[in-house]
C-alpha cells in the first residue's frame, strides 16, 4: 500500500503534548514529536518500506508502528482512497488560504455531533439561556487533555455587560435622534459601499444617532443568571461581545482622535487625541480612500463575554458573524441618515489595537467601518455591466 501525508494537516503543541491534527477527515492524536520526521518521509506516495529506507536511524518496526497510528488518525492516506481524493480536492480549493483558514474552518465543523443537548450560540439575538455549555470540541484533542467541560463548569465571575474607561474624559451624546424616516426599501436598495466623500463634517447629532441605533441597548432581558441586553442586530446568545471604538476625522464638535462608545451612558470616552487622514489610511492597510470619511468605527471583540458561556472554539465563528451583523446594520443606518458607509477587513491589526487601547489578547479588533457624506459623483464607482461584460462572464456551471 502506498501512502502520502495528508495535505490538510496541522501539528501543534497542546498541554505538553505534540498533536498531529489532520482535517477534516482525521482525528487529532498526541504522538512523539518524531512523528513529524516520519510524516516528512511520506511527502510523496511511498510504501512503509521505502519510508524506512529514508529514515535509516529508525528501525523498520518503529516506522511500521508509527505508520499504523498515523493511518488510523488520518494523517497518512492510502493511494486511491476517498479520503485521499477529498484531501487533494480541499488542498486545491483552499490552497491560497492554507493552512490557517482551512484548519480553523474544518477543525470547528460538526462539533455539535459529538453529544446531544446543550446550548449552541444562536444567531437570533435571543439568548438560549445560561443553563449549560454547548457540546463539541473544547480545543482539547481526544486523549491529550483532561475534561475541558469540567474545567469550563468552574464558576468564574461574569464579565461586565459594558466596557468602560472611567478615567477617560467623557462626552455625553445628544439623545434626540436624527431622522430615520427613509422607507426601508429605499434604504435597502440605495445601500452602497462608498469610497468618495465630500470632506464636509458630519454633525454630532447624526453620529450620536448612528452609534445609538447600531450599538446601543434596545432592551434588557433576564437570562436566568442576571441581565443581558439586545441590540438591533442579532448577536449569538445576546453576549454582545463586540465593542465600538470611533476614530474621528471630521465630526462637528469633536476633536480628532480615538474614542470608545459607551453604550450604557450613550457617550464617547476619549482615549487618545489626534487622528490624521494619513494615519487613517495607514491603519487601513494603506487604502487611500480611508483618508476621506468623517470617521472610522473599529469593531473589537471582548472574547471573554462569549467564551465564558461557549468554550467551544466554534464560538469564535459566531464572533465573526456578529461583527458582520453589526456591519450590515451600520451600513443600512448610515444610508438612512444620508451618509455613505464603507467597511474593510484589511487593516493593520496591532496598530489599530494600539490606537484603541486594546490589549489584542482578550480584546481584539475584527472589522473596520467608516462613513461620511458621499460625493455626489463618485470617481471610482464601477460602471453598469453591459453586453461585453456579460459576454466574458460565466454565469452558470457548464
**Quick one: pLDDT at residue 133?**
38
Average pLDDT over residues 285-311: 96
Residue 357: which pLDDT band, with cuts at 50, 70 and 90? Answer: very high
Give the pairing of strands 3-5 and 76-78. Answer: antiparallel
Q: Which tens digits make up the pLDDT trace of 125-151?
A: 443 334 333 333 333 333 333 333 433
Peptide bond into 88 cis (omega under 30): no
Task: Tell me the C-alpha distance between 206 and 175, whole Å.
Answer: 11
Tell me what pLDDT residue 143 has.
35
Rounded mean pLDDT, 352-379: 94
Judged against a pLDDT cut of 80, whether residue 67 lies above it is answered with: yes
Least confident of 14-18, 93-97, 137-141: 137-141
- For the segment 252-262, the average pLDDT, to the nearest whole number, is 97
Instruction: Give the CA angle between residues 217, 219, 221 to the nearest 5°.
Output: 120
Give residue 127's pLDDT: 39
Q: What is the pLDDT of residue 110?
A: 83
Q: Is 141 left (phi over 0), alpha (psi -120 to 50) or beta?
A: beta
Is the Cβ–Cβ distance between 55 and 41 less than 8 Å? yes
The superfamily in CATH containing domain 176-372 is NADH Oxidase (3.40.109.10)
Q: Indicate the range of 16-20, 22-26, 194-198 predicted with least confidence.
A: 22-26
Average pLDDT, rounded, for the chain:
89
Contact partners, residue 332, CB within 8 Å, separation at least 6: 187, 188, 191
pLDDT score recorded for residue 76: 96
Q: Which pLDDT score, from 0 to 100, does residue 381 have?
A: 82
Q: Indicate whether 364 pLDDT > 80.
A: yes
Using the predicted structure, report yes or no on whether residue 286 has a pLDDT greater than 70: yes
User: Is the bond into 254 cis (omega within 30 degrees of 0)?
Assistant: no
Is 271:257 a contact under the CB 8 Å cutoff? yes
Interval 285-294 mean pLDDT = 96
CA dist 24 and 34 (Å) reads 23
Res. 111 pLDDT band, cuts 50 70 90 = confident
Q: 112 pLDDT band (50/70/90 cuts)?
A: confident
Tell me the average pLDDT across 64-80.
95
Q: What is the pLDDT of residues 168-214, one digit of tens each?
A: 999 999 998 878 889 999 999 999 999 999 999 999 999 999 999 99
Using an 8 Å Cβ cutoff, are 135 and 117 in contact?
yes
Cα gap 8→16, rounded to integer Å: 23
Q: Return all residues near 245 (Cβ < 8 A) that are at least 6 apart.
A: 258, 259, 260, 261, 271, 297, 298, 300, 356, 358, 365
User: What does each C-alpha distance from 137 to 74, 207, 270, 304 come to in angstroms?
Assistant: 18, 41, 40, 17
Q: Where in the chain is the domain with CATH 3.90.930.60?
A: 3-107
- pLDDT above 90: residue 222: yes
C-alpha–C-alpha distance, residues 33 and 280, integer Å: 45
3-state secondary structure the chain: CCEEECCCEEEEEECCEEEEEECCCCCCEEECCHHHHHHHCCCCCECHHHHHHHCCCCCHHHHHHHHHHHHHHCCEEECCCHHHHHHHHHHHHHHHHCCHHHHHHHHCCCHHHCCCCCCCCCCCCCCCCCCCCCCCCCCCCCCCCCCHHHHHCCCCCCCCCCCCCCCCCEEECCCCCCCCCCCHHHHHHHCCCCCCECCCCECHHHHHHHHHHHHCCCEEEECCCCEEEECCCCCHHHCCCEEEEEEECCECCCCCEEEEEECCCCEEEEEEECCCHHHHHHHCCCCHHHHCCCEEEEEEEECHHHHCCCCCCCHHHHHHHHHHHHHHHHHHHHHHCCCEEEEECCCCHHHHHHHHCCCCCCEEEEEEEEEECECCCCCCCCCCCCHHHHHCCCCCCC
Looking at the domain that runs over 3-107, which CATH code has it been given?
A: 3.90.930.60
* Percent of the chain surpassing pLDDT 90: 80
- Convert the pLDDT of each residue in 227-244 to its tens digit: 999 999 999 999 999 999
Average pLDDT rounded to a whole number, residues 250-278: 97
pLDDT of 374 over the 90 cut:
yes
Q: Which residues of the chain does CATH 3.40.109.10 include?
A: 176-372
- As a whole number, mean pLDDT of residues 45-54 equals 93
Residue 218 in this model has a pLDDT that exceeds 50: yes
Q: What is the 3-state secondary structure (H, E, C) of 107-149?
A: HCCCHHHCCCCCCCCCCCCCCCCCCCCCCCCCCCCCCCCCCHH
**Among 154-158, 308-312, 333-337, 364-368, where is mean pLDDT lowest?**
154-158
Max alpha carbon distance in the chain (Å)? 79
Percent above pLDDT 70 for the chain: 89
> 19 pLDDT exceeds 60?
yes
Amino acid at each position: 500500500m502506498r501512502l502520502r501525508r495528508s495535505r490538510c494537516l496541522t501539528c501543534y503543541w497542546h498541554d505538553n503534548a505534540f498533536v498531529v491534527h489532520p482535517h477534516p477527515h482525521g482525528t487529532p492524536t498526541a504522538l512523539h514529536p518524531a512523528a513529524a520526521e516520519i510524516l516528512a518521509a511520506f511527502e510523496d506516495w511511498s510504501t512503509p518500506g521505502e519510508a524506512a529506507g529514508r529514515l535509516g536511524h529508525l528501525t523498520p518496526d518503529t516506522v511500521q508502528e508509527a505508520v499504523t497510528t498515523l493511518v488510523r488518525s488520518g494523517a497518512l492516506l492510502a493511494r486511491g482512497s476517498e479520503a485521499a481524493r477529498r484531501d487533494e480536492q480541499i488542498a486545491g480549493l483552499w490552497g491560497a488560504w492554507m493552512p490557517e483558514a482551512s484548519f480553523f474552518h474544518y477543525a470547528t465543523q460538526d462539533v455539535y455531533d459529538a453529544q446531544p443537548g446543550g446550548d449552541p450560540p444562536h444567531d437570533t439575538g435571543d439568548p438560549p439561556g445560561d443553563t449549560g455549555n454547548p457540546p463539541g470540541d473544547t480545543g482539547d484533542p481526544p486523549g491529550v487533555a483532561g475534561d475541558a467541560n469540567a474545567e469550563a463548569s468552574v464558576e468564574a465571575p461574569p464579565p461586565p455587560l459594558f466596557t468602560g474607561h472611567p478615567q477617560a474624559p467623557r462626552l455625553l451624546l445628544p439623545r434626540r435622534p436624527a431622522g430615520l424616516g427613509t422607507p426601508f426599501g429605499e434604504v435597502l436598495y440605495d445601500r452602497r459601499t462608498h469610497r468618495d466623500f465630500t470632506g464636509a463634517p458630519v454633525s454630532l447629532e447624526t453620529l450620536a444617532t448612528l452609534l445609538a441605533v447600531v450599538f446601543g441597548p434596545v432592551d434588557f432581558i433576564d437570562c436566568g443568571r442576571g441581565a443581558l441586553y439586545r441590540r438591533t442586530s442579532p448577536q449569538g446568545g445576546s453576549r454582545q461581545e463586540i465593542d465600538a471604538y470611533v476614530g474621528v476625522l471630521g465630526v462637528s464638535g469633536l476633536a480628532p482622535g480615538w474614542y470608545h462608545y459607551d453604550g450604557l451612558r450613550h457617550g464617547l470616552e476619549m482615549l487618545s487625541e489626534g487622528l490624521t487622514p494619513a494615519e487613517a489610511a495607514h491603519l487601513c492597510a494603506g487604502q487611500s480612500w480611508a483618508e476621506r470619511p468623517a470617521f472610522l468605527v473599529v469593531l473589537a471583540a471582548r472574547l471573554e463575554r462569549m467564551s465564558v458561556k461557549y468554550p467551544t472554539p466554534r464560538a469564535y465563528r459566531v464572533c465573526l458573524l456578529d461583527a458582520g451583523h453589526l456591519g450590515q446594520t451600520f451600513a443600512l443606518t448610515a444610508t438612512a441618515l444620508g451618509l455613505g458607509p464603507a467597511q474593510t477587513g484589511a487593516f493593520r491589526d496591532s496598530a489599530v489595537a494600539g490606537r484603541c487601547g486594546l490589549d489584542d489578547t482578550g480584546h481584539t479588533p475584527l472589522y473596520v467601518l467608516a462613513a461620511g457624506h458621499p460625493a455626489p459623483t463618485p470617481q471610482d464607482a464601477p460602471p453598469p455591466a453591459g453586453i461585453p461584460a456579460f459576454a466574458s462572464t460565466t454565469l452558470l456551471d457548464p
